[in-house]
């Protein structure tokens, strides 16, 4: 009974690490969550049954790879990539099996060798964590990544020490081992703390960098605008002379065309928003310019007072993140479009960002599930939800077949 | 028939706005009676003589009495909160004081038909295509009041007060029963108060200020309902696609 129980639990652990590996190299679509659950259950039962029935390592390996391919079919990616990933996991699993056998043999009786599979699961999970940190951070081995890995290593160290404790006879060694476990736990707490601080610092740095870039962009817009104004002033006499000539000839339509041409030359297509609130203008113009670079059509309707205090409602953090997410999603859509509305009314700030998107999005309890790449920018939609709630505001998120819509209200008084 | 006052010192702009409205009566599904004024003083004088409008389309920068002055006169002295003000301006920035007169919208010159049509349609959502009425029995008399006149309803034990812009009606009843008879822009914010969201001047987390400058507390029990209703009303007016 104990044998079956340990094997089934370990198989569940193995299938969990397989899914983690697949998620690292392929794209997971939330719509296929149930498929993954069903295929994983089949993997757990079938690999166990085949192993018990045949006891032939080569057949076990082939069945293992085929069933992993079945799970991988619920992920997005080319067949070759899926096959290579499955073979990689199988080879890694076999290596971990051997390693686990070597590590466990001195401590186990011959009848208890099946316990070594627990080490296989442990090794696989550690390797996945390490690889995952590297892959998810775009192969940048930054400070947070290192700390995450170190943090993942603590439970392993604690488990090894505990394992040694059970094998020791002398009370003093057990006592020392227990002290070590306490030390490791304390270390993990302090490491977690510095991890959180680092993450906060990194987010602040990213935000400041974006703000500086937005200011630089706004300065550039102002420079262009000034130059256009100077040119217009310089050529004003010439333009008036031209218009007067056309008017004298009774060419009214041409007069209108001429004026329209002057207007469009003067209007700065890059400066879409001009509320007078400098911080908001610079951020939104910068982001909308980036949207245009992605060939996204942007429709803006912003009516806020120029003397509004945006810092009190963390407006720029909220708008910045929502717009970044919208640009990221709309860039992947066939018809690239963003409609952005922001209004101040009766002491309340209302905003709405509506964008097209590519792929599938599912919303459950206000949380958005989709491909990993969606909502990967900035501090994310979840944090925007938290920020708005902290200020006693409301936020609504919905998705139709065509559009993803975020609507929010923030009381400002 | 909706009454519209256009006020701009530029003759051509007035003509352009008037043409847009008259050429789009089919799209707006309404008919309009339009008066044009070239100074703020002329419009203020006309209101002083008793004229009433559903929409004001005002230039912000007028020679003497500006668009803000006209808006302030309408709201503060004429106590008219029903008229929807649409500001037109060459500028794209708006001072906070402009928002104190509760404008419906701001349109940048030259006025584009779609922007004006969208603003007027939003106005229709607020003032309603058909007038809503509320009926109650005060003594032996049945009283019918236009809902746009009501600022709020308050109750003290069994006595209900309907507070309007220029009168207060008292009768016996139960506030929860009255709420069922009112349109969806009325919301309960306290055990003793139901307010008209259209008559709201300012709102914060724990209180609201009505158009007559009265302050009413929002009890914790109704905070969420109030916020949700404010939010859904804004969405209804601004986001119906």
Give residues 306 to 325 of A whose Cβ lies within 8 Å of B: 306-308
Contact A345 B228 (CB under 8 A): no
Would you call B112 an interface residue with chain A, using a CB distance cutoff of 8 Å? no
Would you call A352 an interface residue with chain B, using a CB distance cutoff of 8 Å? yes
Report, as an integer, the average pLDDT of B147-166: 89
Q: How do residues A98-107 score in pLDDT, each as one tens digit?
A: 888 777 777 6
Nearest to A31 by CA among A385, A376, A360, A327: A360
Specify the DSSP class assigned to residue A305: B
Name the packing angle between helices A171-248 and A278-293 (round to 10°): 90
Give residues 130 to 149 of B whose Cβ lies within 8 Å of A: none
User: Measured between alpha carbons, how far is A62 from A77 in angstroms, rounded to an integer?
Assistant: 21
A302 burial via Cβ count (<10 Å: 0-12, 13-18, 19+):
buried
Would you call A350 an interface residue with chain B, using a CB distance cutoff of 8 Å? yes
Q: How do residues B14-54 score in pLDDT, each as one tens digit?
A: 999 999 999 999 998 889 999 999 999 999 999 999 888 99
Q: Is residue A52 within 8 Å of A123, Cβ to Cβ?
A: no
* A224 against A268, higher pLDDT: A224
Confidence at B230, pLDDT banded by 50, 70, 90 = very high
* A173 against A213, higher pLDDT: A213
User: Measured between alpha carbons, how far is B227 from B28 in angstroms, rounded to an integer?
Assistant: 30
Rounded to 5 degrees, what are φ and ψ at A233?
-60, -40
Would you call A262 an interface residue with chain B, using a CB distance cutoff of 8 Å? no
Contacts of A344 (CB under 8 A, 6+ apart): A303, A304, A305, A308, A350, A412, B99
What domains lie within chain B, and their CATH numbers? 2-127 (3.40.50.2300), 133-238 (2.40.50.1020)
Q: Is pLDDT above 80 for B8?
A: yes
Best mutation target, A346, A356, A393, A398, to test chain B (most B CBs within 10 A): A346
The number of CA neighbours under 13 Å toward the Cβ of A361 is 25
Contact B234 A409 (CB under 8 A): yes
Q: Is residue A72 within 8 Å of A82, Cβ to Cβ?
A: yes
User: Measured between alpha carbons, how far is A246 from A252 in angstroms, rounded to an integer?
Assistant: 7
Would you call A285 an interface residue with chain B, using a CB distance cutoff of 8 Å? no
Tell me the DSSP string of A201-263: HHHHHHHHHHHHHHHHHHHHHHHHHHHHHHHHHHHHHHHHHHHHHHHHTT-HHHHHHHHHHHH
Would you call A276 an interface residue with chain B, using a CB distance cutoff of 8 Å? yes
Report, as an integer, the average pLDDT of B71-89: 90
Contact A409 B200 (CB under 8 A): no
Confidence at A218, pLDDT banded by 50, 70, 90 = confident
Confidence at A200, pLDDT banded by 50, 70, 90 = confident
Q: Is pLDDT above 80 for B227?
A: yes
| Omega cis (within 30) before B137 | no
Give the model's pLDDT for residue A377: 42
Q: Is pLDDT above 90 for A337?
A: yes
* B123 against A111, higher pLDDT: B123
Predicted ipTM?
A: 0.86
Q: Is pLDDT above 60 for A201?
A: yes
Give the model's pLDDT for residue A172: 66
């Amino acid at each position: 009974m104990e044998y079956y129980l340990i094997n089934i639990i370990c198989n569940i652990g193995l299938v969990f690490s397989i899914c983690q590996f697949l998620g690292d190299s392929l794209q997971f679509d939330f719509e296929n969550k149930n498929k993954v659950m069903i295929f994983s259950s089949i993997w757990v039962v079938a690999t166990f049954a085949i192993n018990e029935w045949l006891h032939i390592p080569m057949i076990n390996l082939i069945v293992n790879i085929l069933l992993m391919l079945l799970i991988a079919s619920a992920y997005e990616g080319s067949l070759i990539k899926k096959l290579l990933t499955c073979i990689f996991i199988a080879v890694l699993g076999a290596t971990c099996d051997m390693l686990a056998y070597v590590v466990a043999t001195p401590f186990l009786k011959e009848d208890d060798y099946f316990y070594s599979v627990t080490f296989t699961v442990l090794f696989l999970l550690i390797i996945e964590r390490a690889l995952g940190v590297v892959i998810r951070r775009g192969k940048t081995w930054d400070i947070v990544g290192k700390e995450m890995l170190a943090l993942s290593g603590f439970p392993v160290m604690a488990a090894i020490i505990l394992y040694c404790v059970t094998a020791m006879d002398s009370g003093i060694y057990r006592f020392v081992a227990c002290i070590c476990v306490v030390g490791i736990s304390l270390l993990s707490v302090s490491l977690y703390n510095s991890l959180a601080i680092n993450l906060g610092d990194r987010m602040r740095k990213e935000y400041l960098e974006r703000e500086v870039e937005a200011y630089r962009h706004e300065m550039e817009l102002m420079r262009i605008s000034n130059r256009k104004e100077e040119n217009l002033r310089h050529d004003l006499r010439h333009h008036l002379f031209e218009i007067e000539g056309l008017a004298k000839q009774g060419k009214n339509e041409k007069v209108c065309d001429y004026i329209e041409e002057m207007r469009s030359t003067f209007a700065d297509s890059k400066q879409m928003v001009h509320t007078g609130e400098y911080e908001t203008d610079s951020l939104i113009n910068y982001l909308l310019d980036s949207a245009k670079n992605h060939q996204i059509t942007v429709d803006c309707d912003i009516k806020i007072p120029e003397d509004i205090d945006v810092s009190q409602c963390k407006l720029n953090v909220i708008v910045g993140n929502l717009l970044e997410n919208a640009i990221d999603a709309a860039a992947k859509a066939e018809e690239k479009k963003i409609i952005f509305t922001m209004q101040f009314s009766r002491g309340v700030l209302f905003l709405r960002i509506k964008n097209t998107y590519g792929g599938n999005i599912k919303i459950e309890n206000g949380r958005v599930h989709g491909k990993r790449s969606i909502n990967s920018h900035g501090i994310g939609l979840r944090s925007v939800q938290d920020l708005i709630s902290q200020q006693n505001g409301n936020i609504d998120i919905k998705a139709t077949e065509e559009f993803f819509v975020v609507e929010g209200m923030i009381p400002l008084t | 028939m909706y009454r519209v006052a256009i006020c701009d010192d530029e003759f051509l702009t007035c003509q352009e706005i008037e043409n847009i409205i008259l050429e789009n009566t089919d799209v707006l599904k309404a008919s309009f009676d339009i008066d044009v004024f070239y100074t703020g003083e002329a419009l203020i004088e006309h209101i002083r003589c008793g004229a009433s409008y559903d929409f004001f389309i005002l230039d912000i920068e007028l020679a003497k009495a500006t668009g803000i002055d006209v808006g302030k006169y309408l709201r503060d002295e004429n106590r008219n909160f029903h008229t929807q003000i649409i500001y037109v301006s060459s500028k794209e920035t708006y001072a906070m004081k402009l928002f104190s007169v509760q404008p419906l919208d701001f349109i940048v010159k030259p006025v584009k038909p779609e922007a004006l049509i969208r603003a007027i349609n939003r106005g229709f959502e607020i003032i309603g295509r058909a007038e809503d009425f509320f009926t109650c029995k005060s003594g032996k008399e049945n009283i019918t009041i236009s809902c746009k006149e009501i600022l709020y309803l308050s109750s003290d034990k069994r006595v209900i007060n309907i507070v309007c812009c220029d009168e207060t009606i008292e009768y016996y009843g139960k506030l929860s029963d009255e709420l069922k008879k009112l349109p969806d822009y009325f919301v309960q914010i306290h055990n003793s108060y139901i307010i008209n969201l259209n008559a709201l001047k300012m709102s914060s987390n724990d209180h609201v200020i009505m158009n007559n400058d009265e302050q009413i507390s929002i009890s914790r029990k109704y905070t969420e309902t109030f916020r949700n209703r404010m939010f859904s009303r804004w969405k209804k007016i601004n986001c119906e696609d």
